[in-house]
């Protein structure tokens, strides 16, 4: 009986085996592949913004900042020393923006 079952299982296994061919990876042109890897390598979470407006008060300033992609941001800064037109460094993480640097070196 065991020999019969082994024979039946062997026949079923031989009949039900299908040829499996692995999918071939698609090849990108080398110029496209290089440009994609360069753009990923160049993407930085840091961006330079320009102060477009300042509202000063006794507790510091509210800075209105515009990024190069026209995103408009607003930050509180404890000093009143920043002026319109100055550039600041912005850090973006998980959809939030942080003011990293808000000063110009002395000239």
Contact 89, 50 (CB under 8 A): no
- The tokens of 79 are what? 């000093």
- The tokens of 35 are what? 């440009």
CATH number at residue 68: 2.40.50
The per-residue pLDDT for range 33-52, each reduced to its tens digit, is 555 555 555 678 999 999 99
The per-residue pLDDT for range 65-75, each reduced to its tens digit, is 999 899 999 99
62 within some domain: yes
Q: Domain of 96?
A: 42-101
Can you give the pTM of this predicted structure? Answer: 0.55
Burial of 73 (0-12, 13-18, 19+ CB in 10 A): middle
1 within some domain: no
């Amino acid at each position: 009986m065991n020999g019969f079952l082994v024979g039946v299982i062997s026949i079923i296994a031989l009949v039900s085996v299908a040829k499996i061919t692995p999918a071939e990876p698609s090849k990108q042109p080398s110029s496209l592949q290089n440009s994609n890897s360069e753009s990923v390598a160049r993407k930085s979470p840091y961006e330079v913004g320009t102060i477009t407006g300042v509202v000063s008060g006794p507790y510091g300033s509210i800075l209105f900042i515009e990024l190069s992609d026209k995103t408009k941001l607003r930050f509180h800064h404890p000093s009143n020393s920043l002026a319109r037109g100055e550039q600041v460094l912005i850090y973006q993480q998980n959809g939030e923006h942080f003011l990293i640097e808000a000063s110009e070196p002395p000239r």
